[in-house]
Amino acid sequence: MGVAVIGGSGFYQLEGLEQREERVVTTRWGTPSAPLVKGVLNGVEVIFLARHGIPHRIPPHRVNYRANLQALKDEGADSIIAINAVGGIHPRMGPEALVLPDQIIDYTWGREHTFFADQLEEVVHVDFSYPYSERLRQQLVAAADACSVELQVGGVYGCTQGPRLESAAEVNRLERDGVDIIGMTAMPEAALARELDLEYATLALVVNWAAGRSEALITMEEIHRVINTGMINVLSLVREALARGEA
């Protein structure tokens, strides 16, 4: 059973990883965002991948999600914990909140979003009723309890195209759609994981109030400040989940 962690903005390495080995790999879909870092955390083998590259240079709409997922699968991963920085709409999901979403709405366009497009022997439509692995979600809930990290369980992740942030009116529309948190990277990542039969769950760190939901405009300085404090909790939770050998 292999577990992988895909780190988003602000999460570029898995601290505490021992016997680290960097693997530069390529796939039939191209090259992943960064070398895969394989290692052992408390006796559990883990593969880490920085979604936006190292240094952070690949914007959400340019990430080669297919290469990333295929590379992790090829290296033996069968479950994936994805870390995503997001904006908060739901009143309980303000900056520094940690959310374990249970649903997704996809607003992206023009991204390579499926493995099943060309040279098919048959057309494939994967089930995506429940985008996240319930088993992995419950294990993250248990890990959060064990390490006393507050986790908001449940929520709808709306994935926008970016790289710009939303207008206030777009945020109002997203809220009417039922979106609780907004990010730019859950899709097509979650759907591609499903196509490869990989268990997948997202830990979303809220790094700003969504556009129009606070007095101030959204600045990168503020986002980075929240990332720096909030990722400490994310790291503890991920380490706990991995150390318990539960992922």
DSSP secondary structure letter of residue 61: G
Among 106, 166, 189, 246, which residue sits at the site for ligand HPA (rule: CB under 6 A)? 166
Closest approach of Cβ 16 to ligand HPA, in Å? 26
208 binds ligand HPA (CB under 6 A): yes
143 binds ligand HPA (CB under 6 A): no
234 binds ligand HPA (CB under 6 A): no
Closest approach of Cβ 224 to ligand HPA, in Å? 11
Question: Using CB under 6 A, which residues numbered 5 to 64 contact ligand HPA?
Answer: none
126 binds ligand HPA (CB under 6 A): no
Which helix (DSSP H) or strand (DSSP E) does residue 41 occupy? Answer: strand 36-41
SS3 110: coil
CA distance 74 to 196: 10
183 φ, ψ to 5°? -140, -175
Binding residues for ligand HPA, total number by CB under 6 A: 12
Closest approach of Cβ 49 to ligand HPA, in Å? 19
Among 2, 35, 87, 101, which residue sits at the site for ligand HPA (rule: CB under 6 A)? 87
Could you tell me how far CA 133 lies from the centroid of its own chain?
13
Using alpha carbons, list the distances in angstroms from residue 108 to 125, 231, 246: 19, 26, 32
182 binds ligand HPA (CB under 6 A): yes
Among 49, 71, 210, 241, which residue sits at the site for ligand HPA (rule: CB under 6 A)? 210
CA distance 183 to 89: 11
Q: Which residues, in sequence order, are CB contacts of 87 under 8 Å at separation 6+?
A: 165, 166, 171, 181, 182, 183, 206, 207, 208, 209, 210, 211, 218
Q: Does 93 carry a binding-site annotation? A: no
Q: Which segments are annotated as binding site for phosphate?
A: 9, 51-52, 185
Q: Which segments are annotated as binding site for substrate?
A: 184, 208-210
Q: Which residues bind ligand HPA (CB under 6 A)?
A: 85-87, 160, 165-166, 182-184, 207-208, 210
